[in-house]
Chain A
Amino acid sequence: MKIDTTPEVSGMGHSMKRKEDPRFIRGKGNYVDDIQLPGMLYMDIVRSPFAHAKIKSINTEKALKIPGVLAVITGETLAKYNLHWMPTLMSDTQMVLPVEKVVYQSQEVAAVIATSRYIAADGVDAVEVDYEPLPVVVDPFKALEPGATVIRTDKKDKKDNHIFHWEVGDRAATEKAFAEAEVVVKQDCYIPRIHVASIETCGCIADFDRVNGKLTVYMTTQAPHAIRTVFALVAGHVGLSEERIRIISPDIGGGFGGKVPVYPGYVIATAASVVIGKPIKWIEDRMENLQADSFARDYWMKAELAAKKDGTITALRIKTLADHGCADAAANPSKFPAGLFSICTGSYDIKHAFAEVDGAYTNKPPGGVAYRCSFRVTEAVHMIERVTDILAQQLKMDPAELRLKNFIPKEKFPYQSALGWEYDSGDYARALKLAMERIGYPALRKEQAEKRARGELMGIGISSFTEIVGAGPSKHFDILGIKMFDSAEIRIHPTGKAIARFGTKSQGQGHETTYAQIIAEELGIPASAVQIEEGDTDTAPYGLGTYASRSTPTAGAAGAMAARKIREKAKKIAAHLLEVSPEDLVWETGKFSVRGAPQRSKTIQEIAFAAYTNHPQGMEAGLEAVCYYDPPNLTFPFGSYICVVDIDRGTGQVKIRRFMAVDDCGNIINPMIVDGQIHGGLSMGMAPALMEEISYDENGNVQGGSFMDYLVPTAMETPSWETDKTVTPSPHHPFGAKGVGESATVGAPPAIVNAVVDALSHLGVTHVEIPMTPERVWRILKEKGVAE
């Protein structure tokens, strides 16, 4: 990639140090829990020990006797204002506080408001709730059997636990292709429930100003504007009106999709503040976060791949059951109940495909958030990368060779996929070949053969994923009707510096740096002189927020387009100053000069000053612009990952020896930040492959509900990642970029699984479910008679 700006300007392609880091490194970040307001009260939540139970009574007497406990809020309290239920982003409903029954363990049952956090906890301990346990539905397959206990008895005509059926593709043509196939492989695959486990848990301070009737909520949210509108829609009937709601997202310690939904705690704290008239802080602890907030994944997939004997893939069919817990509280675009799962044809030129997903209710926390993935892409990629390997194994072909044979060739882009997407650009073979070269693929295969002869277990796994990010074009993408554009507003100050505000919200991605670099690239103003703000709905332009790798594709594009509008006006001012016609001016970074007379020029700083001091008659003063960018298409980042593992035959432990990640996210704004995103994403991809899982026992008791058992990898478990890149720009994005935040989370797990299966393939193993814990792997070794 060509770099057009100097390091002083630091436009596209410079590894500028992150502008936000000095404050984070010095402990000067400003997170919700850092904010103290005068007279602030504290909230703590009573939670259900049962997964499904009738609430017979709630006795608050003892709690209210504790000095400092001011109120205990129950479902009955909220029911008076009709706030005991709330809508989810998927047009389902979810309890804020229960009146009749609880439907998952750790569900909010009541909230204690007290003068200190400690007293609030004592209050929680003193609330007495009398439960009558009900039959629990844990297994989503059993949930759909006739006669299963109906969980959502609140829905009048609901007689079962089925949420939705969704399908895509040509069923008949796919069936025909399968009937004619020379080879068919099948695999069931479960992607377990996991949790984003961001370092900062969720929380808020709700501050209702009774005098002005204004509600300010400081909230850990990835989508402050959308939240404001949801609040206005949900609480309009109690007098909250959108112009008097201000949502502020301060610094956020990781979101990963888990901070998109509205949680009951936010609503309870807000209601309490409105009723009491004081600011109320609610911060979850780690166990509440893991046990009650949105989970991700929980997809039960059955896939079939049809192919010719020579390895040409001809058709794909996937049937999936999605366990959504007690409510469909995913945060997908509204028209996509299974998110962008239809990317499941992956990087391959597959003519016929059909996919269907059914959603089921169970007695588990609500959700289905897109954990560092653009709505179910992780599940889709896992499945296609798994069955592709199984096909290679069946045909005794090298998995790299099979992939190279089936990749969508680069000449075919833009490519229409069988399930309806138009892939913007790609060169999949180049990425895989680079990964193979960097890791020394043939030598590894040789080493593996030698090790195998000695009884040692070593495997090499490939994943060649295609992502789909940047939601999205308004024709298809909306959340509760609000189109998924995003926005930027840039103001150039008289001295040539700038402030720019965006509709997104960084949670660690580095927007304060990368957005400044985009503007630096477009206007030549040094990135260090461009201040970026996000997250305050009173000041920033409306946008749908940051998740699904959408910030650069949407808001970043808006920033470039707004800057180009400014450049157009700057051109007119420069023409005025230089007394030539605008057509005679040429732009090079940071200045306009007269064609043929380059010594006659005006810098952007001179032009900015003139915009306030000497603007042409008849032109408005000032230099600013707004852009609401509606992307024409999504972007399709891709990559090829190769993982090498060794397996301990005594314990079953899988050790990642090497991991080579080649990513292509189009043109790159800041290579260092992209590398950081890949490193973090790989660690987060390794986690569910080897360690993380939230499961439930038959009574719906959560397993893995604390960091004792929810195994987030540390630096000690994480291998030293190796990264490289190819650059295939997006043809439709203003500066050729694609999203990158999620590629590695999506691409890494199947590479690791494929490596483990590869290590065991000579024993007849074709699949291993995740997480591939030592015990799970050891049981396979034992069964195959190779355990030490």
Chain B
Amino acid sequence: MIPAAFDYHAPTSLSEAVALLSKHGDTAKVLSGGQSLLPLLKLRLGQAGHLIDIGRIPGLEYIKEEGGMLRIGGRTRESALERSEVVRTRYPILLDTAQVIADPLVRNMATVGGNLAHGDPGNDHPATMLVLGAQVVATGPKAERVIPIDGFFVGLFTTALQPDEIVTEIRIPAPPARSGGAYVKFERKVGDYATAAAAAFVTLGASGLVERAGIALTNAGPKPVRSTAAEKLLTGRRPDAAALGEAARAAGQSATPSADRRGAADYKKEMAGVLALRALTKAVQRAGGR
């Protein structure tokens, strides 16, 4: 549990950090909360010649609603989400998510930007961000660019980020009226990655029909899974038990999990469906329909 040697850099500005990343290219890694990166290095499963610690760069930790968006600074800690009033009252799905990530010790360090940038399908934020239609703001040597979440996750541990880009903000559209979201996770014990977990977000129209639906799964494939089939099934329907059940089954079908100590593939696939139903039911309740 001791990493191989590396060089450590602690830049105090974004431009300095980006310059260091550009300079060291593939051998450099951004160090944020360190809760995913350091275990990899300690187990010597990964190696980095240079760690660029973004912890001393001012202005990367905030949560604010502005211009019809919730803006979360790239280095915002999970524990900050847990304590945030605006998250608790306006974005309960984010609170659901933050609360089931690891344990309080990890959450004091782990960051939202890191959780997405790691590209780990086992992380909990990706599914939530997929159903919320989030945007990831990345700052590189040239400029800032906005990456829609649907194009962000490329494959196992890979994202659309360039090696010299830093996630500086996550933007989430403010929820329209009669919307509700929920994240439900099933884990072997507290602090574990999900055996199965589902995020759901619904917006109901004036007639009580589903206007927009988002359903996504954690740890259900090589990258976070958004189930458009399930979303389609639900859109325009009354969110009754039958409709939710059908959508949840479709969501389960979109899972392609692999076997590990959390369970065999068939079990995890079934669980994805079970969890999708629980998340959908809660989301609809929160949207005020039933």
Q: Contact residues of A with B, CB < 8 Å?
A: 117-118, 121-122, 125, 285-287, 650-651, 653, 691, 703-704, 708-709, 711-714, 716-717, 773-775, 778-779, 787-788
B264 at the interface (CB under 8 A from A): yes
Q: A117-B2, A651-B271, A775-B267 are in contact. Are A704 and B261 (CB under 8 A)?
A: yes
B135 at the interface (CB under 8 A from A): no
Q: Mark B254-290, 1 if CB is under 8 A from A, else 0.
A: 0000000101100100110010011000000000000
- Name 25 A/B residue pairs within 8 A (Cβ), A-sorted: A118-B2, A121-B2, A122-B5, A125-B4, A285-B1, A286-B1, A287-B1, A650-B278, A651-B186, A651-B274, A653-B186, A691-B188, A691-B189, A709-B261, A711-B188, A714-B103, A716-B189, A717-B189, A717-B190, A773-B263, A774-B195, A774-B263, A775-B267, A778-B270, A787-B270
Q: Which residues of B144-193 have CB atoms within 8 Å of chain A's CB atoms?
A: 186, 188-192
Most A Cβ at <10 Å: residue of B4, B189, B264, B277: B189
Most B Cβ at <10 Å: residue of A714, A775, A778: A775
Tell me whether A775 and B189 are in contact (CB under 8 A). Answer: no
Q: Contact residues of B with A, CB < 8 Å?
A: 1-2, 4-5, 44, 103, 186, 188-192, 195, 261, 263-264, 267, 270-271, 274, 277-278
* Bound-complex Cα distance A778 to B266 (A): 11
Q: A714-B189, A774-B188, A775-B263 are in contact. List 10 more A-B contacts (CB 8 A).
A: A118-B2, A122-B4, A287-B1, A650-B278, A651-B186, A691-B189, A704-B261, A775-B264, A779-B267, A788-B274
Which chain A residues lie closer than 8 Å to B2 at the CB level? 117-118, 121
Residue of A nearest to B273 (CB): A650
* Bound-complex Cα distance A112 to B146 (A): 50
* Bound-complex Cα distance A651 to B189 (A): 14
* Bound-complex Cα distance A286 to B2 (A): 12
Min CB gap A679→B, angstroms: 18
Residue of B nearest to A116 (CB): B2
Q: A118-B2, A703-B261, A775-B263 are in contact. Are A716 and B190 (CB under 8 A)?
A: yes
Which chain A residues lie closer than 8 Å to B195 at the CB level? 774
Which chain A residues lie closer than 8 Å to B278 at the CB level? 650
Which chain A residues lie closer than 8 Å to B263 at the CB level? 773-775
Tell me whether A714 and B191 are in contact (CB under 8 A). Answer: yes
Which chain A residues lie closer than 8 Å to B192 at the CB level? 708, 711
Which chain B residues lie closer than 8 Å to A713 at the CB level? 189
* Bound-complex Cα distance A704 to B271 (A): 22
Which chain B residues lie closer than 8 Å to A788 at the CB level? 274
Which chain A residues lie closer than 8 Å to B267 at the CB level? 775, 778-779
* Bound-complex Cα distance A716 to B195 (A): 17
* Bound-complex Cα distance A650 to B198 (A): 14
Which chain B residues lie closer than 8 Å to A651 at the CB level? 186, 271, 274
* Bound-complex Cα distance A410 to B194 (A): 51
Which chain B residues lie closer than 8 Å to A709 at the CB level? 261
* Bound-complex Cα distance A8 to B274 (A): 59
Tell me whether A711 and B274 are in contact (CB under 8 A). Answer: no
Min CB gap A782→B, angstroms: 8
Which chain A residues lie closer than 8 Å to B103 at the CB level? 714
Min CB gap B267→A, angstroms: 5
Which chain B residues lie closer than 8 Å to A125 at the CB level? 4, 44
Which chain B residues lie closer than 8 Å to A775 at the CB level? 263-264, 267
Residue of B nearest to A778 (CB): B267
Which chain A residues lie closer than 8 Å to B271 at the CB level? 651
Residue of B nearest to A121 (CB): B2
Most A Cβ at <10 Å: residue of B1, B2, B44, B190: B2
Residue of A nearest to B193 (CB): A708
Tell me whether B189 and A711 are in contact (CB under 8 A). Answer: yes
* Bound-complex Cα distance A691 to B191 (A): 14
* Bound-complex Cα distance A653 to B185 (A): 13
* Bound-complex Cα distance A125 to B41 (A): 13
Q: A775-B267, A788-B274 are in contact. Are A714 and B190 (CB under 8 A)?
A: yes
Min CB gap A109→B, angstroms: 17
* Bound-complex Cα distance A713 to B271 (A): 22
* Bound-complex Cα distance A285 to B188 (A): 23
Residue of B nearest to A693 (CB): B261
Which chain B residues lie closer than 8 Å to A714 at the CB level? 103, 189-191
Min CB gap A575→B, angstroms: 63
* Bound-complex Cα distance A72 to B45 (A): 24
* Bound-complex Cα distance A708 to B42 (A): 14
* Bound-complex Cα distance A121 to B274 (A): 45
Min CB gap A428→B, angstroms: 34
* Bound-complex Cα distance A778 to B271 (A): 10
* Bound-complex Cα distance A775 to B190 (A): 17
Min CB gap B241→A, angstroms: 12
Which chain B residues lie closer than 8 Å to A287 at the CB level? 1
Min CB gap B152→A, angstroms: 26
Which chain A residues lie closer than 8 Å to B44 at the CB level? 125
* Bound-complex Cα distance A570 to B269 (A): 76
* Bound-complex Cα distance A714 to B2 (A): 26
Which chain B residues lie closer than 8 Å to A778 at the CB level? 267, 270
* Bound-complex Cα distance A117 to B191 (A): 29
Residue in B5, B189, B274 whose beta carbon sits within 8 Å of that of A650 in the complex: B274
* Bound-complex Cα distance A172 to B103 (A): 58
* Bound-complex Cα distance A644 to B216 (A): 35
Which chain B residues lie closer than 8 Å to A653 at the CB level? 186
Residue of B nearest to A716 (CB): B190
Ordered nearest first, which 4 A-B pairs have the shortest CB separation? Answer: A121-B2, A716-B190, A650-B274, A709-B261
* Bound-complex Cα distance A775 to B262 (A): 8
Which chain A residues lie closer than 8 Å to B4 at the CB level? 122, 125
* Bound-complex Cα distance A283 to B267 (A): 39
Min CB gap A772→B, angstroms: 12
Residue of B nearest to A652 (CB): B267
Which chain B residues lie closer than 8 Å to A285 at the CB level? 1
* Bound-complex Cα distance A661 to B212 (A): 52
Min CB gap A286→B, angstroms: 7
Residue of B nearest to A44 (CB): B2
Min CB gap A105→B, angstroms: 16
* Bound-complex Cα distance A716 to B192 (A): 12
Residue of A nearest to B1 (CB): A285
Which chain B residues lie closer than 8 Å to A691 at the CB level? 188-189
Most A Cβ at <10 Å: residue of B1, B44, B188, B192: B188
Which chain B residues lie closer than 8 Å to A774 at the CB level? 186, 188, 195, 263
Residue of A nearest to B5 (CB): A122
Min CB gap A45→B, angstroms: 13
Residue of A nearest to B261 (CB): A709
* Bound-complex Cα distance A696 to B23 (A): 45
* Bound-complex Cα distance A554 to B263 (A): 46
Which chain B residues lie closer than 8 Å to A708 at the CB level? 192
Min CB gap B10→A, angstroms: 20
* Bound-complex Cα distance A711 to B189 (A): 7
Min CB gap A4→B, angstroms: 45
Min CB gap B104→A, angstroms: 11
* Bound-complex Cα distance A7 to B274 (A): 57
* Bound-complex Cα distance A708 to B45 (A): 15
